[in-house]
């Protein structure tokens, strides 16, 4: 069968699947202050439906699956879905993006089911600030989750830090210090205008040159580092002599669309070929027909733009397509 390729020749072998739009945190860049209207349970894809979609795509070259949310671990028995996906011929990498709060109870079960690795969201190491960013979270529980992931053998462990001006940019050195004596990969991510391109986003946006400046100020020399296993678009570096690495993911200032190999599936069953644009294709009614599933994914890819133009949103310039109105918690990371 022909692989999943878009009009620009980009091969897509990676699917990010949101298993729920619900979350046990309320991060300021992910949900509005007034909260979210969560979808009814009957609008959320079942594990059987998700498995059928992955089974339909594996013969087209799908190799990597990431489970996201919301917070995926609030979905009951997620290890059962992982085991189903792990049993599909051709799938050789299953990962999870999580806030880490439920990892102490779940990490070992997830590993046994077939999970390879985790990305853990952690935007501050200071409890008062972490509680502000997450609207009530406990950073100590996330740190326990990191320890549980390490003990379970999930590797590599990546920490996702959304860098925000005037909010957590003074913690860059503290985050990189975590890599000095531990094989962690800390990934600094530019704040993206998903679901909102308001002035509050523009005021908090910070290009990632700031991270290199912080290393220089700390007296550290850095060097290029090998990409940790996975499919991330980060530029990876290491403080000379450090066990771990840090990565820079700058979708706004230096978009990485040329090498995009990612498709997304929302919790309610919509294909998104690009995170940023509003274009969606409802695949849920077709899950019993593998050929129809394949055709719809090809159609979605056929309409995938070359890039997302987030930099134009930063500059308040006209864009060629309509940005999504969905919040990040509704799309999946």
| pLDDT per residue as tens digits for the range 200-228 | 767 888 888 899 999 999 999 999 998 76
Tally of residues, the chain: 333
What element of type H or E holds 312?
A: helix 310-314
Give percent above pLDDT 70 in the chain. 85
Q: What is the mean pLDDT of residues 75-80?
A: 98
Gap between the Cα atoms of 308 and 91, Å rounded: 28
The burial of 291, by beta-carbon neighbours within 10 Å (0-12 exposed, 13-18 middle, 19 or more buried), is given as exposed
Q: How confident is the model at residue 323 (pLDDT cuts 50, 70, 90)?
A: low
pLDDT averaged over every residue in the chain: 89
- How far apart are the C-alpha atoms of 187 and 194, rounded to whole Å? 19
| pLDDT value, residue 312 | 47
Domains and their CATH numbers in the chain: 14-331 (3.20.20.70)
Strand partners, 96: 67, 118
pLDDT at position 49 is 98
Give the phi and the psi of residue 248 in degrees, each rounded to 5: -115, 120
Q: What pLDDT score does 81 carry?
A: 98
The whole-angstrom separation of Cα 219 and Cα 180 is 14
pLDDT at 287 over 80: yes
Cβ proximity of 12 and 6 under 8 Å? yes
* CA dihedral sign of residues 73, 128, 148, 13: positive
Give the per-residue pLDDT at 256: 59
d(CA 169, CA 184): 19
Position 149 scores a pLDDT of 98
Q: Percent of the chain beyond pLDDT 90?
A: 70
SS (H, E, C) 1-50: CCCCECCCCCECCEEEEECCCCCCCCCCCCCCCCCCCCCCHHHCCCHHHH
pLDDT tens for residues 107-128?
999 999 999 999 999 999 999 9
What whole-number distance in Å separates Cα of residue 266 and Cα of residue 205? Answer: 26
pLDDT at 56 over 80: yes
Return the pLDDT at 219.
96
Q: What pLDDT, on a 0 to 100 scale, did the predictor assign at position 36?
A: 78
Q: Which sign does the torsion angle of CA 68, 258, 256, 309 carry?
A: negative
d(CA 107, CA 255): 33
For residue 253, is pLDDT > 60?
no
Give the single-character DSSP code of 170. G
What are the C-alpha distances in Å from 256 to residues 175, 189, 248?
A: 24, 12, 11
SS3 letters across 242-311: CCCEEEEECCCCCCCHHHCCEEEECCCCEEECCCCECCCEECHHHCCCHHHHHHHHHHHHHCCCCCCCHH
Instruction: Give the count of beta carbons closer than 10 Å to the beta carbon of residue 235.
Output: 17
Distance CA 304, CA 310 (A): 15
Q: Which residues pair with 157 in a beta bridge?
A: 118
* Tokens linked to 320: 């060629």
Q: Is the pLDDT of residue 267 over 80?
A: yes
Using alpha carbons only, what angle is made at residue 268 by residues 69 and 116, rounded to the nearest 5 degrees? 40
Beta bridge partners of 79: none
pLDDT of residue 190: 85
pLDDT category at 191 given cuts 50, 70, 90 is confident
The predicted-structure confidence for 21-46, as pLDDT tens digits, reads as follows 999 999 888 877 777 788 899 999 99
CA 1 and chain centroid, separation: 28
pLDDT at 77: 98
Reading the block at residue 97, the tokens are: 């993006």
- pLDDT for the residue 11: 94
Residue with tokens 């860059």: 172
According to DSSP, the β-strands at 245-249 and 235-239 are: antiparallel
């Amino acid at each position: 069968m022909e692989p999943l390729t878009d009009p620009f020749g980009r091969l897509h072998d990676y699917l990010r699947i949101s298993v729920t739009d619900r979350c046990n945190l309320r991060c300021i860049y992910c949900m509005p202050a007034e909260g979210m209207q969560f979808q009814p349970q009957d609008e959320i894809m079942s594990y059987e439906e998700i498995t059928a979609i992955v089974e339909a795509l594996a013969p087209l070259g799908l190799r990597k699956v990431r489970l996201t949310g919301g917070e995926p671990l609030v979905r009951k028995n997620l290890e059962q879905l992982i085991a189903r996906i792990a049993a599909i011929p051709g799938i050789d990498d299953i990962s999870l993006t999580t806030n880490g709060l439920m990892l102490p109870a779940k990490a070992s079960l997830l590993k046994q089911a077939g999970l390879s690795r985790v990305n853990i969201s952690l935007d501050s190491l200071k409890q008062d600030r972490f509680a502000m960013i997450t609207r009530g979270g406990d950073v100590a529980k996330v740190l326990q989750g990191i320890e549980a992931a390490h003990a379970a053998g999930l590797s590599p462990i990546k920490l996702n830090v959304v860098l925000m001006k005037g909010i957590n940019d003074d913690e860059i050195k503290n985050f990189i210090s975590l890599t000095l004596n531990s094989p962690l990969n800390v990934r600094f991510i530019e704040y993206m205008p998903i679901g909102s391109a308001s002035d509050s986003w523009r005021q908090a946006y910070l290009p990632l040159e700031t991270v290199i400046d912080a290393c220089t100020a700390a007296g550290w020399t850095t060097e290029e580092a090998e990409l940790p296993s996975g499919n991330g678009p980060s530029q990876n570096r290491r403080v000379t002599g450090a066990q771990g690495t840090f990565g820079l993911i700058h979708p706004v200032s230096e978009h990485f669309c040329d090498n995009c190999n990612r498709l997304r599936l929302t919790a309610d069953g919509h294909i998104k070929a690009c995170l940023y644009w509003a274009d969606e294709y409802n695949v849920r009614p077709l899950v019993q027909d593998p050929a129809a599933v394949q055709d719809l994914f090809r159609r979605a890819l056929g309409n995938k733009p070359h890039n997302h133009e987030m930099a134009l949103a930063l500059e308040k310039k006209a864009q060629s397509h309509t940005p999504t109105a969905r919040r990040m918690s509704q799309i999946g990371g």
